[in-house]
């Protein structure tokens, strides 16, 4: 069960996609992202590589690979996936690594794409 204070709603996502200081991370596999698209301003870091991207990558490596600054421990990171399961796992990993302002968009791509099509 995810702490409700760490859950971001669709309405909140509509706001954060325009806030460059927020880091939105899609933890789906690249083939899933290529097949469906992604939430605007998000970067794709598959779940299996989240730990390494947040711990092992230097600021320069992160910048080259994802075209944005590596988040600091105090930056707000919002994870999403297809349905919320993997984003919850990524949230747990990030919190354990000290990224204290991490959250999850539990509705994830299923919720986003359904609402965007209306």
Q: State pTM to two decimals.
A: 0.96
pLDDT above 80 for 117? no
The CA-based dihedral angle spanning residues 49, 107, 19, 26, taken in that order and rounded to the nearest 10 degrees: 20
Which residue of the set 27, 47, 78, 81 is catalytic?
A: 81
27-63 residue pLDDT tens: 999 999 999 999 999 999 999 999 999 999 999 999 9
Is residue 118 predicted with pLDDT exceeding 70? no
CA dist 113 and 103 (Å) reads 19
* Sole residue written with tokens 């919850």: 88
Q: What are the boundaries of each domain within the chain?
A: 4-116
4-116: which CATH architecture? 3-Layer(aba) Sandwich (3.40)
The proportion of the chain whose per-residue pLDDT surpasses 90, expressed as a percent, equals 95
> Token match 């598959």: residue?
46
Q: Is 81 a catalytic residue?
A: yes
> Mean pLDDT throughout 110-115?
95
């Amino acid at each position: 069960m995810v702490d409700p204070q760490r859950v971001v709603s669709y309405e909140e996502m509509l706001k954060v996609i325009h806030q460059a200081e927020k880091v939105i991370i899609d933890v789906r596999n690249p083939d899933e992202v290529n097949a469906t698209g992604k939430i605007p301003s998000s970067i794709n870091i598959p779940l299996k590589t989240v730990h390494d991207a947040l711990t092992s990558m230097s600021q320069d490596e992160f910048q080259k690979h994802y075209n944005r600054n590596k988040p600091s421990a105090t930056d707000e990171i919002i994870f999403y996936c297809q349905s919320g399961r993997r984003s919850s796992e990524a949230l747990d990993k990030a919190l354990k690594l000290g990224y204290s302002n991490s959250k999850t968009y539990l509705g994830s791509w299923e919720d986003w794409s359904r609402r965007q099509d209306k």
